[in-house]
Structure 1
Amino acid sequence: MDIISNHTFKTHSSSTHAIINASVYRDNKRLDNQVIIIEGDTIIDVTCRESIDSLPIHVIDAKNHLVSPGFIDLQLNGCGGVLFNTNISNETLTIMNKTNVQYGTTQFLPTLITSQGQSLVHAIDLMNGIENAEKMGVLGLHLEGPFISVERNGAHQKQFIRELDIEAAHYLAKNQKCIKVLTLAPENVDQKVLNVLKQSSITLSMGHTDATYHQLIEKEGIEMATHLYNAMSPLTNREPGAVGYIFDKKPYAGIIADGIHVDYTSLTIARELLGEKLFLVTDAVTPAGTNLTEFNMAGVQAFVTQGKCHYEDGTIAGAAITMIQSIRNLTEYANVPLHEALNMATLYPAKSIGIDDIYGKIAKGYKANLVFLDEHLQVVQTIQMGESVYQQKS
């Protein structure tokens, strides 16, 4: 940070600092010469330079770079050479966060895919024991399984898939404080069981599901869809399936924009139908942010070939993409305006889990999570919860 000493200052806390010469989007319009004032981990004002008489002592010059809210990834299995399933620990979360901030992601849900029962308990116990999880970017868990469909298991190991019964539902509801999203196959869960979770703060997401449209409309409490198009029953002429249900009922839906999981034309169609309900996820695994070509996918050998993460038989096994690359892909290949691509990585995921009152915007009262982007949409600097945690080497 630059230290400015030749000003007459207003009264500010020692933890107050300002970002000057920032370019930001407001109401989808790009505004230059903006000042973002931060106290602790919170934005206390956003204004133009001319409207303030003096600045806090600590000043960061954004140098006219575009400043975006920090990206929010609600489905992140791993990155930076680690996988949450393989090593459920603080160390893994620390490495994931350190990797994330280099690519603009300041908040994420560590995602545990279908595995042995004790892994789920271990992940919940870990989260319950973490103090200040938000400081390391962790908003809670995404449990992707094990309560999914054998027919649409994707990269999940079938032997660990199991039924979601009333006892398990009560256990998850009891631990709702540390679980943000639960992916399940609704057709395999009794409504009485869903009701237990529906009354909790956990967002129920349909995914890895072989459900028919009519099976889905009979269920209540499903508010989200996990990686739209992938590992779910497709829209066909006589059976709308899970995809048809999503397009009709419009729950929030995550989508992977690596050009491998979903064709960009299909992504464009989804945007036109779902609007602000569609948000980006990476579904990233171990190789994201690295040059790895082989990795351990929760006990199964996996490979990376031309950006595709896969098992030996060709089954897709997560993604190697980062959030900033996803944004670049949207603007380059799917004709998404930049302000909207950024919304899909910030505001819309925040809305989907009900945290858009303090995350996903650059506005007074919001958490100070900010990403500085150059004209090539490369991350120049990242501020996480009010602290500068990454700066591009010059």
Structure 2
Amino acid sequence: MNRENTHDNHYMITNVNLFNGQKIEEKQAIIIKNDTISSVISMDEACNLSLQTIDGNGALATSGFIDIQLNGCGGVLLNTDISLSTLATMNKTNLMYGTTQYLPTLITSTEKDLHNTLMMMADFKEAEQKGILGLHLEGPFISIEKKGAHQAQYIRELDLETAQLLAKNSASIKVITIAPEHISQEVLDCLTDADITVSIGHTNATYEEVNTKSGLTMATHLYNAMTPLGSREPGVVGYIFDQKPHAGIIVDGIHASYPSVRIAHQQLKEKLFLVTDAVTPAGTDLTEFDMAGTQAFVTDGKCHYEDGTIAGAAITMIDGVKNLINHVGLSREEALRMASLYPAQALKIDNEYGQLKENYKANITLLDKNNDVTATIQMGKVAYQK
């Protein structure tokens, strides 16, 4: 693959099998103009065109992965260093593992850190070209009882004044994770009216407490930091299985067992999408790291504090895809949909992202037969090649 050929950004990727989001079509070519797919054609048709070409060498072309919950990777963490260089490292690491779009995720922090993150995003004009679809604010408006790795001293309730501030910054905020038992419907409406997706997470709520609220269209890391499904109290897990909002799930074999992931997929189908919830060590061989001010460790792939509390994940999206295929038992196509189409649908951007079709953004991951990433195209540009 020769990236020199793409300087005018009108070129063609040839010799690929293409997963368009529904099915795999063999011997295809993808024509890219600027940051958009202008058409997908057969190799027979491609032979008659005189465009600059990149040979895909028989790889599977799939839509670039979309990670809705990414705290850090490549040795950096957004909470530890709120800067454009952190985002650049996260994007560079993502591209090596097939992720072309993500939501930088700020977990529970001080008001100053939240303000600084919003300011940084408001000033970042190239965000979309660098793979950023907006922020995911995971906290601080969560439940102390289900705080997980979040720092208790910064957890607070979301009042209307703060919600109005977040609504004013809705151009920078895509998702906010909240505990529904600690939020009024008026405050919830303020967020949803601003087109911010409100996700249920880090919650100690009962089924009824969630069911009395409207506008909750997503759930954060299913099973983790929420009340479990019980026979007499369905809990938040029961609410999700029953009402079927979109839900993210971490498929590392640590946050949820593989049979539990399979059960969730049977219940939620296209509403279940893959996330990493990755932190500093993802994409590296680090064994210790700073988790937003607390020392954390990696043992046998598990990120944890000294007391054993899970502190994020060390996987990449392609790791999750492989686990879905090899351990959960999903088809290659369904695993790829969970990494691309379903997150796009959850964010309501599946008219431009999550599929390889005409007029969609040119975000393309090339995979070999072992599902290893051989190249990544981000917004029309060759951004990584093995």
TM beyond 0.5: yes
User: Residue 187 of structure 2 aligns with which residue?
Assistant: 193
Distance in 2, matches of 1:165 and 1:301, equals 31
User: Residue 78 of structure 1 aligns with which residue?
Assistant: 72
User: Residue 377 of structure 2 aligns with which residue?
Assistant: 383
User: Residue 161 of structure 2 aligns with which residue?
Assistant: 167
Distance in 1, matches of 2:378 and 2:186, equals 40
Distance in 1, matches of 2:67 and 2:20, equals 22
User: Residue 218 of structure 1 aligns with which residue?
Assistant: 212
Tell me the CA shift for residue 2 of structure 1: 5.3
Which structure exhibits the higher relative contact order, with contacts defined as CA atoms closer than 8 Å and separated by 6 or more residues?
Answer: 2
Structure 1 pair 81–2 and aligned structure 2 pair: CA distance change class (3 A): closer
C-alpha contact (below 8 Å) 1:17/1:56 kept by paired residues: no
The SS at the match of 1:177 is: coil
User: Residue 275 of structure 1 aligns with which residue?
Assistant: 269
Tell me the CA shift for residue 195 of structure 1: 1.2
The SS at the match of 2:144 is: coil
Structure 1 pair 3–85 and aligned structure 2 pair: CA distance change class (3 A): closer
Listed one character per residue, the Cα deviations across residues 224-265 of structure 1 (whole Å, up to 9, x for unaligned) are 000000000001111000000000000000000000000110
Distance in 2, matches of 1:85 and 1:3, equals 34
Q: 2:363 aligns with which of 348, 366, 369?
A: 369
User: Residue 337 of structure 1 aligns with which residue?
Assistant: 331
Question: What amino acid maps onto 1:255 in structure 2?
Answer: I
Count of equivalent residues? 386
The SS at the match of 2:171 is: helix
Q: 1:47 aligns with which of 41, 47, 54?
A: 41
User: Residue 284 of structure 1 aligns with which residue?
Assistant: 278
Distance in 1, matches of 2:191 and 2:377, equals 35
C-alpha contact (below 8 Å) 2:21/2:337 kept by paired residues: no
TM-score under structure 1 normalisation? 0.96
Question: What amino acid maps onto 2:188 in structure 1?
Answer: L
Unaligned runs of 5+ in 2: none
Q: 1:157 aligns with which of 126, 151, 155?
A: 151
Structure 1 pair 3–77 and aligned structure 2 pair: CA distance change class (3 A): closer
C-alpha contact (below 8 Å) 1:23/1:67 kept by paired residues: yes
C-alpha contact (below 8 Å) 1:74/1:281 kept by paired residues: yes
Structure 1 pair 53–14 and aligned structure 2 pair: CA distance change class (3 A): same
C-alpha contact (below 8 Å) 1:3/1:58 kept by paired residues: no
TM-score under structure 2 normalisation? 0.98
1:1-394 equivalences under 5 Å are 14-26=8-20, 28-52=22-46, 54-392=48-386
Listed one character per residue, the Cα deviations across residues 86-110 of structure 1 (whole Å, up to 9, x for unaligned) are 0000000000000000000000000
Listed one character per residue, the Cα deviations across residues 117-139 of structure 1 (whole Å, up to 9, x for unaligned) are 11111110000000120111111
Tell me the CA shift for residue 112 of structure 1: 0.2
C-alpha contact (below 8 Å) 1:32/1:64 kept by paired residues: no
Tell me the CA shift for residue 30 of structure 1: 2.1
Tell me the CA shift for residue 15 of structure 1: 2.7
Structure 1 pair 14–286 and aligned structure 2 pair: CA distance change class (3 A): closer
C-alpha contact (below 8 Å) 2:21/2:63 kept by paired residues: no
Question: What amino acid maps onto 2:92 in structure 1?
Answer: K
Distance in 2, matches of 1:98 and 1:153, equals 30
Tell me the CA shift for residue 27 of structure 1: 6.3
Distance in 1, matches of 2:172 and 2:319, equals 29
Unaligned runs of 5+ in 1: 6-12
The SS at the match of 1:176 is: coil
The SS at the match of 1:151 is: helix
The SS at the match of 1:364 is: coil
Listed one character per residue, the Cα deviations across residues 312-358 of structure 1 (whole Å, up to 9, x for unaligned) are 00000000000001000000000010000000000000000111010
Tell me the CA shift for residue 54 of structure 1: 2.8
Listed one character per residue, the Cα deviations across residues 39-64 of structure 1 (whole Å, up to 9, x for unaligned) are 00000000101134633432011111
C-alpha contact (below 8 Å) 1:254/1:281 kept by paired residues: yes
Identity percentage over the alignment?
Answer: 56
* Between 130-139 and 285-294, the greater mean CA deviation after superposition: 130-139
Distance in 2, matches of 1:352 and 1:333, equals 24
